[in-house]
């Protein structure tokens, strides 16, 4: 179990860099997919709410250092990790793969909705009114990230979950 922590730490740092320099360029009506939130949710589901919250805060802090919004990114990461932790599947449980997958999808969706909502409320990247900004970021940001969630799970995270 302890061996997993360095892996998750390195993964979160790498994904924060990828998020900042690659994924953030995919702007769809002002919203961008959030690959880091997906992995924070995965971490919370796998390692628990407390660890997920810690990782969320650290990853958000690092992403904020790169993007310039240290406080906001840290807050968003923390909330995402905490909320996704409610879907934690303990390692000793005998949950089926289907259940694990479902929990991960729920965790991702919850984290993404909360993260995008916070982001829309506290920052105005599109310089548009709140009544347009919130639905736009919530819908487009969450949907595009959920597509990434499914892709990431099917390609990579499924194998990690089995290990």
Partner 1 sequence: MLSFFRFLARHTAYLFLLLYCSISVLLMQLQRKETLEAIRSRGLSVNASVAEQMSAVSDLFSLKQYNEHLLLQNARLFSTVVHQGQAIRDSRNLNAMVAKDSAHAYNRFIVARVVDRRFSHTDNTIIINAGWRRGVEKDMAVLTPDGLVGRVTKVTENYAKVMPVINKSFKVSVVSDSSSTYGVLSWNGGNETLAHMENVPASSRLKAGEHLATSDHSTFAVRGIPVGKIVRVSGNKLFSDIDVRLYIDYSSLTYVLVSPEKASPEKLEIMYNEEVKPKIPQKPFGR
- C-alpha distances in angstroms, 2 versus 5, 8, 13, 49? 6, 10, 18, 16
> How far is the C-alpha of 74 from the C-alpha of 57, rounded, in Å?
5
DSSP-assigned states of every residue in 6-38 = HHHHHHHHHHHHHHHHTGGG--BTTB---HHHH
Q: Which of 19, 32, 43, 78 binds partner 1 (CB under 8 A)?
A: 78
Number of residues assigned to the chain = 163
The 22-61 contact track toward partner 1, x by CB under 8 A, reads --------------------------xxx--xx-xx--x-
Phi and psi angles of residue 96, each rounded to the nearest 5 degrees, phi first: -75, 165
Which of 27, 70, 139, 146 contacts partner 1 by CB under 8 A? 70
42 vs 153, beta carbon nearer partner 1: 42
# residues near partner 1 by CB under 8 A: 26
Instruction: Indicate which single residue of 13, 17, 95, 117 sits in contact with partner 1 (rule: CB under 8 A).
Output: 17
The CB-of-17 to partner 1 minimum distance in angstroms stands at 8
Two tokens, residue 28: 């769809």
**Can residue 64 be called a binding residue for partner 1 (CB under 8 A)?**
yes
> Whole-number minimum distance, CB 79 to partner 1, in Å?
7
CA distance 116 to 142: 7
Residues lying near partner 1 in the complex (CB under 8 A):
17, 20-21, 48-50, 53-54, 56-57, 60, 64-68, 70-72, 74-75, 78-79, 82, 85, 122
């Amino acid at each position: 179990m302890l061996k997993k922590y360095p892996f998750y730490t390195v993964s979160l740092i790498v994904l924060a860099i990828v998020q900042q320099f690659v994924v953030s360029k995919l702007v769809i009506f002002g919203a961008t997919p959030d690959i880091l939130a997906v992995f924070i949710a995965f971490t919370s589901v796998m390692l628990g709410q407390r660890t997920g919250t810690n990782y969320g805060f650290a990853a958000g802090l690092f992403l904020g250092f790169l993007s310039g919004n240290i406080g906001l990114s840290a807050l968003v990461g923390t909330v995402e990790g905490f909320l996704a932790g409610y879907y934690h599947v303990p390692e000793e449980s005998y949950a089926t793969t289907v259940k694990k997958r479902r929990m991960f999808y729920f965790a991702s969706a919850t984290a993404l909705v909360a993260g995008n909502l916070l982001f829309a409320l506290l920052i105005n990247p599109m310089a548009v009114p709140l009544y347009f900004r919130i639905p736009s970021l919530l819908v487009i940001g969450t949907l595009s990230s959920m597509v990434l969630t499914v892709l990431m799970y099917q390609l990579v995270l499924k194998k990690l979950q089995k290990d």
